[in-house]
Amino acid sequence: MYDTLEFAAIINPPQSGILAVGAAKDQVVVVDGEMRVAKVMRVTLSADHRAVDGALAAQWLAAFVKRIENPVTSLI
């Protein structure tokens, strides 16, 4: 909404984690050795380590990225 590329969200009790989603922008990426333009979106996961183990939060974020990059996998 505000064209912000990325930011870190602040956790307020009783939240244990919050996902910050930045704007999707055109960016040059390398695919199969060729430069192409693609939409790139940055996400940041803030987690309260008293409630959620950091490794578990990283695994959740990796799973989220896989689903966003391949939305068809959500149908299976």
CA atoms within 13 A on the CB side of 28: 3
Q: 27 φ, ψ to 5°?
A: -150, 145
The SS3 of residue 61 is helix
Q: Does 29 qualify as catalytic in the annotation?
A: no
Q: Which of 25, 36, 39, 49 is catalytic?
A: 49
Residues labelled as active-site residues: 49
